[in-house]
């Protein structure tokens, strides 16, 4: 299927694919084992244009379209989900500033974010607030032309390395977004380790205690932090996660095709056993379907079609299920080897599970998708009713004798 990528964008993807297949692939296992993403690899990723690629050229980005963006994230996610998630949250911050930031915020931050001079992190979740994101407990109080922030953010990807946090806090009882520099007094960062998956995504807990920020650090308007800023960012994050899941599923398929072509049991290669073929077929089919859903969302996003919001939930839901199932089968196919750190499929499985939770859990996605399905059903009924009425009136007029109207 052709999606009309420009030669320039194809070159961007090819460059990132080369980088991911070599340098990043070399880093991924070590990063997972040591639970740390190397600054040098991050710097190389920035050089490859992986960071802030969605930003327009005028701000130093690559100005790529959403389909190209998705393909980039598939390439990164195919090799290292931790790397992809670091890039994703960085881009979420950049996009939110691009869309809702003041001119001053854009000028100050976007050129630096575009080249990775500074790293961004999206600080939404809290110890007691996950999917119910509008209920954040962190507070922001106005004080002499400034805001005083108090609260704790948890599970913050890139929290250990971020220079600037996009923080959602409750201001005048309304969710409001702020930009908070890491070096502000009152900000403290505690690394979170021994996670199930995406262990090198530099996750942290970030505490804000009497943290004073100037009013110019308000992002968007008071009370619109969730509807505008957070949902804009989360939409991009969800899209990236969907493509990242396609990357994981692709890696699982590649690993299984290779492994089953080399390993023999019962006198023949594994790939010749029909029950193995069934798992490979399931993996390949779901992978293609997930990729097509992601392409569809990319096209809708590029066209500015509002349906992209619910369709992103569909793609993310299906792709994360696909990745999880593919990774589970990949471990199964690899047998005991699949449970060992020498083979990457165990990492894919751990990372895939996390993908089912982040940027909209399965259950949250299901609620949105079901609601959309009911709306589409109601709309189709109304349309059918209107069509029937029109046909009925046409039929009535047809019955009239010619010339009597």
Partner 1 sequence: MDDSKIKIRAFLSRFFQAAAVAENDDIFALGFINSLFALQLVAWVEKEFEIQIEDEDLEIENFNTIEAIANLVARKNGRAQGA
Cα four-point dihedral sign 246, 318, 51, 185: negative
Minimum CB distance to partner 1, residue 36 (Å): 36
Structure tokens at 142: 């106005």
Report 284-303 residues binding partner 1 (CB under 8 A). 303
Per CB under 8 A, the list member of 61, 151, 159, 220 interacting with partner 1 is: 220
| Min dist. Cβ of residue 73 to partner 1 (A) | 21
Q: Does 306 bind partner 1 (CB under 8 A)?
A: yes
Using left for φ > 0, alpha for ψ between -120 and 50, and beta otherwise, residue 60 falls in: left
Q: CB 94 → partner 1: shortest distance, Å?
A: 16
- Among 216, 305, 377, 390, contact with partner 1 (rule: CB under 8 A): 305
Complex with partner 1: residue 25 or 364, whichever CB lies closer: 364
Q: Using CB under 8 A, which of the segments 24-32, 231-239, 276-284, 332-340 binds partner 1?
A: 231-239
Residues within window 122-181 making contact with partner 1, judged by CB under 8 A: 134
- Residue 102 binds to partner 1 (criterion: CB under 8 A): yes
Minimum Å gap between C-beta 293 and partner 1 is 18
For partner 1, the binding residue among 11, 128, 210, 227 (CB under 8 A) is: 227
Nearest residue (CB) to partner 1, 141 versus 382: 382
H-assigned helices in 218-267: 231-262
- Least distance to partner 1 from the beta carbon of 109, Å? 15
Using the contact rule CB under 8 A, the part of the chain among 10-18, 67-75, 190-198, 305-313 near partner 1 is 305-313
Applying CB under 8 A, which of residues 210, 375, 388, 389 lies at the interface with partner 1? 375
CA distances from 334 to 79, 80, 264, 289, 348 (A): 18, 20, 12, 24, 13
- 70-101 in b/e form (b: 16+ CB < 10 A) is bbbbbbbbbbbbbbbbbbbbbbbbbbbbbebb
- End-to-end distance of the chain based on CA atoms, in angstroms? 53
339-348 exposure pattern, b = at least 16 Cβ within 10 A, e = fewer: eeeebbbbbb
Shortest Cβ 226–partner 1 spacing (Å): 6
Per CB under 8 A, the list member of 139, 228, 296, 332 interacting with partner 1 is 228
Q: Is residue 282 flagged as an active site residue?
A: no
Say if residues 241 and 293 touch (Cβ distance below 8 Å): no
**Of the residues 148, 231, 257, 292, which one makes contact with partner 1 according to CB under 8 A:** 231
Active site residue: 58, 141, 359, 402, which one?
A: 359
Helix (H, G, I), strand (E, B) or coil at 151: strand
Find the binder of partner 1 among 184, 309, 332, 353 (CB under 8 A): 309
Residue 24 contacts residue 48 (beta carbons within 8 Å) = no
Residue 192 to residues 147, 202, 213, 346, 351, Cα–Cα distance (Å): 27, 8, 25, 21, 16
Distance between CA atoms of residues 254 and 237, nearest Å: 25
Dig out the tokens for 365 from the structure: 């996605």
User: Which residues would be at the binding site for partner 1 (CB under 8 A)?
Assistant: 100-102, 134, 220-221, 224, 226-228, 231-232, 235, 303-310, 368, 375, 379, 382
- Point out the residues that are catalytic: 359
């Amino acid at each position: 299927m052709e999606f009309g990528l420009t030669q320039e964008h194809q070159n961007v993807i090819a460059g990132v694919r080369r980088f991911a297949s070599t340098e990043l692939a070399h880093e991924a296992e070590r990063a997972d084992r040591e639970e740390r993403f190397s600054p040098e690899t991050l710097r190389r990723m920035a050089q490859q244009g992986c960071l802030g690629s969605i930003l327009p050229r005028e701000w130093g980005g690559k100005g790529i379209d959403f389909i190209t963006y998705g393909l980039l994230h598939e390439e990164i996610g195919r090799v290292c989900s931790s790397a992809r998630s670091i890039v994703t949250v960085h881009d979420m911050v950049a996009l939110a500033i691009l869309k809702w930031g003041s001119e001053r915020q854009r000028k100050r931050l976007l050129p630096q974010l575009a080249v990775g001079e500074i790293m961004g992190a999206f600080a939404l979740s809290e110890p007691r607030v996950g999917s119910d994101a509008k209920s954040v407990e962190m507070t922001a109080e106005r004080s002499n032309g400034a805001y005083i922030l108090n609260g704790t953010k948890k599970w913050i990807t890139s929290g250990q390395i971020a220079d600037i946090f996009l923080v959602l806090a409750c201001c005048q009882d309304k969710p409001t977004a702020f930009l908070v520099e890491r070096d502000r007094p009152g900000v403290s960062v505690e690394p979170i380790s021994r996670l199930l998956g995406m262990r090198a995504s530099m996750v942290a807990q970030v505490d804000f205690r009497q943290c004073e920020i100037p009013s110019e650090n308000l992002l968007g308007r008071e009370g619109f932090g969730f509807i505008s800023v957070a949902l804009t960012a989360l939409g991009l994050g969800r899209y990236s996660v969907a493509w990242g899941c396609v990357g994981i599923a692709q890696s699982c398929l590649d690993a299984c095709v290779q492994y089953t072509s080399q390993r023999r049991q019962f006198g023949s290669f594994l790939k010749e056993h029909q029950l193995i073929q069934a798992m490979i077929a399931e993996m390949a089919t779901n992978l293609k379907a997930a990729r097509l859903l992601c392409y569809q969302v990319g096209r809708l996003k590029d066209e500015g079609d509002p349906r992209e919001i619910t369709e992103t939930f569909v793609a993310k839901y299906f792709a994360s299920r696909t990745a999880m199932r593919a990774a589970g089968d990949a471990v199964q196919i690899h047998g005991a080897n699949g449970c060992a750190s020498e083979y990457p499929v165990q990492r894919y499985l751990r990372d895939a599970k996390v993908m089912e939770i982040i940027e909209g859990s399965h259950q949250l996605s299901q609620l949105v998708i079901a609601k959309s399905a009911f709306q589409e059903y109601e709309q189709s009924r109304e349309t059918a009713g209107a069509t029937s009425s029109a046909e009925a009136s046409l039929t009535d007029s047809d019955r009239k004798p010619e010339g009597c109207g």
